[in-house]
Structure 1
Amino acid sequence: MARFSEFEEPVGFPWKKLLLLVIVLGICFMIGAGTALALLAQFGDFPSIESAAAYRPSVSSKIYDRHNRTVGEIYIEKRTVVPYTAIPKNVVNAFVAAEDANFFKHRGVDYVAIARAALKDVLSGGYSQGASTITQQTVKSLFLTPEKSIRRKLKEIILAYRIERKMTKEEILFLYLNQIYLGDGAYGVEAASHAYFGKGVEAVSIAEGAMLAGLAQAPTRYSPRSHIDQAKARQRYVLRRMADVGFLTAAEAERAYQARIALAPPSSFRSKAAYFLEYVRVYIQEKYGIDALYKSQMQIYTTIDGRLQEAAHDALVEGVRKTEERNKYKGLQGAILAIDPHSGGVLAMVGGVNFAESQFNRAIQARRQPGSAFKPIIYTAALDKGKTVVSTLDDSPIEFDRNENELWKPKNYDGTFLGPIPMLEALAKSRNLATVRLLNDIGVDTAIQTARTLGIESPIERNLSIALGSSGVTPLEICAAYATLANGGEHPTPYFIREVRDASGRILESTEPRMRRALPPETAYLSVRLMQEVIRSGTATAARGLGRNLAGKTGTTNENTDAWFIGFSPDLLAGVWIGFDTPKPLGDRQSAAAVALPIWIRFMGRALPQFPDHDFPVPPGITFTRVDPATGKALAPGAGDGISLPFRLGTAPETAPDGKQRAPRRPTSDDLL
């Protein structure tokens, strides 16, 4: 038996024949590849290289809040194109070292690397995608499909050679570093820097640049969010390659590896502002077109307040969840709007509890019965016709002919009757019968005209049932109407977008607040005072804990189908609607005070600290008189009880006769309309 050491050739092994076979195969491969390249280059169908020079990829249009902070992006691919000069050298070097160390030496193709990869393919019997230079990766991303085939690889090589003849190395790197996908939904180094580190690429450190470069090979596998160990191992590989090729010293590479990487928290704001951002996207697309939206890197400055938007979303979702749990049902929806009453700027908008499940924006698209939330419009119309806050209304049974064969008998929510009561109490306690009589007194047409003046555009039925909110409105409409009262009678037109600019900063449109005098300031002030009593002693006393000058009104429709609360401070208005998309009862005793008001309180509790605490401005035509609220009569000078109420000049009530006993105050109930 023949014996040999591991360093000796086995007797009879055909080394020379094997070497000759490898050489022949190599020559044949080179001849075949060269021929294929020549034929493909001559007769193949190739995209124009000139289009790379006019690089115009899909980019992100950015959306900013009222403090000019980025709150969202609109994109097909989340990308912000930055010039090559804005990308730090350490970031460029990291990608070159990791992906193509000979980039500045070859002419688009690294033939040594290709031969090495081809030999590996022959020996393994398979096909790999290795040996692609940065230039090849760039042309593949810009011009070719992701299929794995010899023909596609040959086209990639030809295009890489052609693009190197047309563009400088820096121009190719500009394309590559803005085009590449780096995970977390980010395309290009600028978007990736913001996604992972919360800052632009110009501020990225050596350690962070190496981690970005490590993502190029496999963004999911090396994601620092989900696979930090693999991400750190890949970062070490990149840093060592940077040292190997002379971009860093070994000591610098080690220090970079040991440096702490602070990842930016993944943003949840996009989901919390989804309805607002979608409204902006649709508006911009309809006005400027799809190409402008997705390829012009537009800058959209909105009225939204990021902190208020988060507070609104959280309050609505939590409130709906609690109502569902309390009543053991699912599918409840809601909407919340916050408006600056002095400008009309929409500060927050949530159109539902889950945008992924339903994109229907209930804040601006749902037309629902407002119930008693419509009553302030009736009372405003009455005040404008000369009524005072203590004018007497009759809260007793009444009936009207609905038609020849049917009577309409409205009733109060609690089934009781209070008899003669002042307007202040009638609205505070949301007395239906008193309100129906008031509407009958001033006239339906007068109330409808006031509603139109306040900004209600939805159809309004011409009958007495509108006193109880029978005609549907959108949350945006009724919030704008209330904002008119909060703003001293000037109607602010709601708007969402302050300014739109293109990528160069050129202003495409700009919106200034638009005001229209709708009511005398005295009428608006008196209406506000009526609604303040709703919170002080009426159906919304739970809001007293906020400790501010607040006014508002609850609204519940028949069978507790819809629940509303719209309220405001001198500088902030918010409205809440809760209900099912297909109307059905919310449940026993699930009135506005139990369902909508807690959401409003939760939101305002977070929002109000951002605004100063002050009184509603008093117009010049208002005077104050101390009255007995139960009788509506003025008290004698020096009287220590009663309350001070506002009146138009010349309309203050007479003083009650001496010795006349005041009527007792009636108790309130939190579950009233």
Structure 2
Amino acid sequence: MKKTAWKNHSFTFYLNVFFKALKRFFSIILIILLVSLLIVTGIGAGYFVGLVEDTPIPDKQEFASAINNMEEKSTLTFNNGDDIGTLRTDLVRTNIPLSDISPKVVEGLISTEDENFFNHSGVVPAAIMRALISQVIGGNQSSGGSTITQQLVKQRLLTNEVSMERKAKEILLSLRLEYFFSKEQILESYLNVSPYGRNHKGENIAGIEEAAQGVFGVSAKELNLAQAAYLVGMPQNPYSYTPYNQDGALKSDDELDYGLTRSREVLNRMYLEDMISKAEYDEAKDYDLKADFLGQDTSEDDDNNDDTSEDYPFLYQALEKEASEIIYNHLIEADGLSINEVNQDEELVNSYRQEADSMMRNNGLTIQSTVDGDIYDTMNQTINDYYQSFGPVYSGNETDDETGESQDIKEPVQNGSVLIENHTGRVLGFIGGVDFDMSQVDHAFSSRRSPGSSLKPLLTYAPAIEEGIAFPSTPLADTYMRAKQADGSYYEPSNFGVNISHDFITAREALAHSLNNPTLYLYNELLKQGVDVQSYMKKLGLNQGISDDEYENIALSLGGTSTGPTVEELAGAFATFSNDGQYIAPYLIESITDSNGQVIYKHESKPVQVFSPDTAYITSDMLRDVVTDGTWSPYQGQLNDGYDWAVKSGTSEDFRDLWVSGSTTNVTMTSWIGYDNITESRNLYDDASPDTYGQPGARHAKYWIALMNDLSAQYPDMFGANETRRQPESVHEESVVTKTGTKPGAFQGPYGTSYDISSNVEMTTDLFPGDANPPKAQFPFAIGGKVDELIDALEDYRQSGNSDTENTVQQILSDYQKRRQENEEARQALYDANSQTD
């Protein structure tokens, strides 16, 4: 038999064939890899060009200005760009030549940050690739990749934003920087501009010379190896590694360990890079740096505090606080972290807070506010003219908790007012207080006070309409109430001035006259029906002013909260009624741009639909009645004509806080007056006698009207002159029985009673939202009240029945009248003992 072909060749022959095939295979793979690499490189180059093609490239002079600019104060402006002033800065920075810096600093910096500094052209491709791979694999974890040149570019020319576009710009500008300047010039600039946290005076410092003088009390040229390593490590996280707190006091030993650990890392890198010997490393590692830290210096030095806040102290203070918060959030987001993550680490919070403060003051930012300068001036001139009419200025004495020293306190009746634009939330003007020299407390944006009846439309009436539980024509019980509270005591509320009608009145009338008992019954009904009233407050931006456990307390519907909103918060919530039910959070800063004109923050409103347009319009219509028929009817003729006014006032317990919130179609202004109650409790009735100053509510109304009249006369278009609120097409009018708020008809009642409300009874017309219609005639017809109170109210419509029913009803009514008299007497006694709440 013939042998097979493969058996005719030797083993060597087949081995050669195998290796030739393997070689051909690897050649093909290599070609494929080379082609792929070329394609990827081409795509990458194209992508890089796309990222940087619109980047303006500075010339040599512009680069020099950017990397050597020592002072860049930040500016505050009004909404039209006019200057308010510059932010105070405590940044201390001294420029020195590289020859005056210890070589150990340079060696430590290169060893730790950029061992190839003298050999690259601004970037190290391999390091960049490592960083990119690390970012892909490990999320936002850093793996280096930035040369000293890149770090200088990032500090002086770019933002902290984490993005491929910023990284591409950083690479391009670094290459350009290296083209213009020598390595020694780049090192000198880096060491002169880098941040070093705080010195022993608590001042922000930048540059190696101020760091050496402010931490160790020596020049940068005199630093020993251990000191140099400590300072070299600081710029990576200056406010964590600095040994000093904001007041210049040394941190705790645990906090100092962060910087000391970092210094040992620098020494280790220097040793590994052969910059120092083993003996030098060991000696420096064991060196007692704590003994060299300077002690706290509390001497005052105002050379760096060019105070531009004297003309607008409250405005300056508010913008400074708001800008710091915005930049704090910006820095965290730029580093790819969340606010919640950072807030769980106190060290991280402090680091970002201090970095934000330094950036805000020293980076040449332009912070544009929403405030109209003329409106702001008008408002603050008005408070200067009026505040002495609010009540007397009291003097007191207070002991400082820290020093134990006694200090005199002057306490006037304070005011906080905020004017916002309804459809944007822009704060057009505000009043922070009556006299900054007397008190620096911000009463517009920070101070929280009990809102009184101002809360009624927001917490109770609008949610009731939205949920279909009540409408303007719905009867509410204005009768005696006694409710057991969580602590076992009984709550026995009354209307202002102890005027209880012992009848049923409409929700419209109850809100117009700010009646307490009907509001309490309505709020209790919301709770009984499981309405999540807290969610409404959260959407309205009021949740911070009310604790979770207060919502089950019916007194909350009258403003009974231990905390309360700020003036800004209440203004924003109230504006919702004039904004088709959308809540738009008030804001004070429009934009923040850096020294190169790049926008690092631009406000974006995020509207929240709290109520339907129908509910918002109907509630606004009810608040019109406050002016035309209710608590503000005495002032109706004093308000400028041609504006669609909707107003609600409020008074907290014992006249401690007085509020007014009012809107036109375009703007809303909320105002609060009251004592700060620093040394003792004071109120606007007993401590600011009505015999001398007039009724508290009248004082505040006169002031609020003066403000709004003056401003609306100057800015009629802005305030909505001759404009009225747009009534949604779905809002419709319906006729109801005036007494019951229902359609006419016959129905059965308790105890065998029957009622017939025929169509010839008194009728009224009111508004209903959407598909809602008046309820049918029924028992009960109202919200709140006891059975006998409901029977009494319907007595005119009761049909004749058998004698047993008549006797039962008469007995019920007789008992009701007797109990009503007893309640009246008890109510009067309670009123004599306690002031009531509006």
TM-score, structure 1 normalization: 0.56
Identify the match of residue 412 of structure 1 among 468, 492, 495: 495
- CA deviations on 1:421-468 (whole Å, 9 max, x unpaired) are 111110110100111111111217633332223221223402111011
Rounded to whole Å, the distance in 1 between the matches of 2:394 and 2:497 is 21
Question: Are 1:279 and 2:343 counterparts?
Answer: no
> Residue 375 of structure 2 corresponds to which residue in structure 1?
308
Rounded to whole Å, the distance in 2 between the matches of 1:505 and 1:345 is 23
Identify the match of residue 448 of structure 2 among 367, 380, 385: 367
> Residue 297 of structure 1 corresponds to which residue in structure 2?
364
- CA deviations on 1:99-145 (whole Å, 9 max, x unpaired) are xxxxxxxxxxxxxxxxxxxxxxxxxxxxxxxxxxxxxxxxxxxx9xx
- CA deviations on 1:592-624 (whole Å, 9 max, x unpaired) are 632432232122112224223211122232123
Contact 2:379–2:707 (CA under 8 A) maintained in structure 1: yes
Rounded to whole Å, the distance in 1 between the matches of 2:427 and 2:695 is 27
Contact 2:445–2:567 (CA under 8 A) maintained in structure 1: yes
SS class of match (1:599): helix
> Residue 580 of structure 1 corresponds to which residue in structure 2?
675
> Residue 393 of structure 1 corresponds to which residue in structure 2?
476
Which amino acid in structure 1 is aligned with residue 538 of structure 2? R
Rounded to whole Å, the distance in 1 between the matches of 2:322 and 2:381 is 21
Rounded to whole Å, the distance in 2 between the matches of 1:543 and 1:305 is 28
Which amino acid in structure 1 is aligned with residue 733 of structure 2? F
> Residue 519 of structure 2 corresponds to which residue in structure 1?
435
Deviates more, 1:64-73 or 1:345-354: 64-73
Question: Are 1:448 and 2:448 counterparts?
Answer: no
Question: Are 1:569 and 2:650 counterparts?
Answer: no
Which amino acid in structure 2 is aligned with residue 420 of structure 1? F
The 1:274–1:315 alpha-carbon spacing in structure 2 relative to 1, beyond 3 Å, is farther
Rounded to whole Å, the distance in 2 between the matches of 1:72 and 1:627 is 60
Deviates more, 1:361-370 or 1:429-438: 361-370
Equivalences for 1:493-512 in 2 at 5 Å? 493-512=585-604
Rounded to whole Å, the distance in 2 between the matches of 1:371 and 1:284 is 32
SS class of match (1:273): helix
Rounded to whole Å, the distance in 2 between the matches of 1:384 and 1:408 is 28
The 1:271–1:405 alpha-carbon spacing in structure 2 relative to 1, beyond 3 Å, is closer
User: Percent identity, aligned pairs only?
Assistant: 24
Which amino acid in structure 2 is aligned with residue 63 of structure 1? L
SS class of match (1:440): helix
Question: Are 1:68 and 2:110 counterparts?
Answer: no
Rounded to whole Å, the distance in 2 between the matches of 1:521 and 1:617 is 10
Contact 2:654–2:837 (CA under 8 A) maintained in structure 1: no
Contact 2:614–2:731 (CA under 8 A) maintained in structure 1: yes
SS class of match (2:387): helix
- Give aligned pairs, total: 421
Question: Are 1:384 and 2:503 counterparts?
Answer: no
Which amino acid in structure 1 is aligned with residue 493 of structure 2? P
Rounded to whole Å, the distance in 1 between the matches of 2:556 and 2:471 is 21
Equivalences for 1:266-665 in 2 at 5 Å? 270-271=312-313, 273-280=315-322, 282-283=324-325, 286=328, 289-325=356-392, 330-377=411-458, 378-386=460-468, 387-402=470-485, 406-418=489-501, 419-443=503-527, 446=531, 447-458=533-544, 459-460=546-547, 461=550, 462-471=552-561, 472-541=564-633, 542-544=635-637, 545-547=639-641, 548-582=643-677, 583-588=681-686, 593-609=697-713, 610=715, 611=718, 612-613=720-721, 614-625=723-734, 645-653=766-774
Contact 1:564–1:592 (CA under 8 A) maintained in structure 2: no
TM-score, structure 2 normalization: 0.46
In structure 2, the gaps of 5 or more residues are: 1-63, 92-208, 210-307, 332-354, 396-409, 745-759, 778-795, 797-835
SS class of match (1:289): helix
The 1:326–1:291 alpha-carbon spacing in structure 2 relative to 1, beyond 3 Å, is closer
SS class of match (1:442): helix
The 1:443–1:654 alpha-carbon spacing in structure 2 relative to 1, beyond 3 Å, is closer
Contact 2:578–2:616 (CA under 8 A) maintained in structure 1: yes
How far off is 1:57 after superposition? 4.6
Which amino acid in structure 1 is aligned with residue 708 of structure 2? M
Contact 1:274–1:355 (CA under 8 A) maintained in structure 2: no
Contact 1:522–1:622 (CA under 8 A) maintained in structure 2: yes
The 1:269–1:628 alpha-carbon spacing in structure 2 relative to 1, beyond 3 Å, is farther
SS class of match (1:552): strand
How far off is 1:351 after superposition? 2.1
Contact 1:485–1:527 (CA under 8 A) maintained in structure 2: yes
Contact 2:391–2:684 (CA under 8 A) maintained in structure 1: no
How far off is 1:554 after superposition? 0.6
Equivalences for 1:177-196 in 2 at 5 Å? none
How far off is 1:521 after superposition? 1.1
The 1:52–1:622 alpha-carbon spacing in structure 2 relative to 1, beyond 3 Å, is closer
Rounded to whole Å, the distance in 2 between the matches of 1:68 and 1:642 is 57
Deviates more, 1:334-343 or 1:319-328: 319-328
How far off is 1:655 after superposition? 12
Contact 1:66–1:301 (CA under 8 A) maintained in structure 2: yes
Which amino acid in structure 1 is aligned with residue 558 of structure 2? L
Rounded to whole Å, the distance in 1 between the matches of 2:517 and 2:653 is 15
Deviates more, 1:336-345 or 1:437-446: 437-446
- CA deviations on 1:572-598 (whole Å, 9 max, x unpaired) are 011111111125211255766324322
The 1:278–1:630 alpha-carbon spacing in structure 2 relative to 1, beyond 3 Å, is farther
SS class of match (1:359): coil
The 1:373–1:591 alpha-carbon spacing in structure 2 relative to 1, beyond 3 Å, is farther
RMSD across aligned positions (CA): 3.7
Rounded to whole Å, the distance in 2 between the matches of 1:299 and 1:511 is 14
Contact 2:392–2:413 (CA under 8 A) maintained in structure 1: no
Contact 1:57–1:295 (CA under 8 A) maintained in structure 2: no
Which amino acid in structure 2 is aligned with residue 523 of structure 1? T
Rounded to whole Å, the distance in 2 between the matches of 1:480 and 1:414 is 30
Rounded to whole Å, the distance in 1 between the matches of 2:388 and 2:763 is 42
Contact 1:58–1:295 (CA under 8 A) maintained in structure 2: yes
How far off is 1:531 after superposition? 1.2
SS class of match (2:81): coil
In structure 1, the gaps of 5 or more residues are: 1-50, 79-142, 144-265, 662-670
Contact 1:539–1:593 (CA under 8 A) maintained in structure 2: no
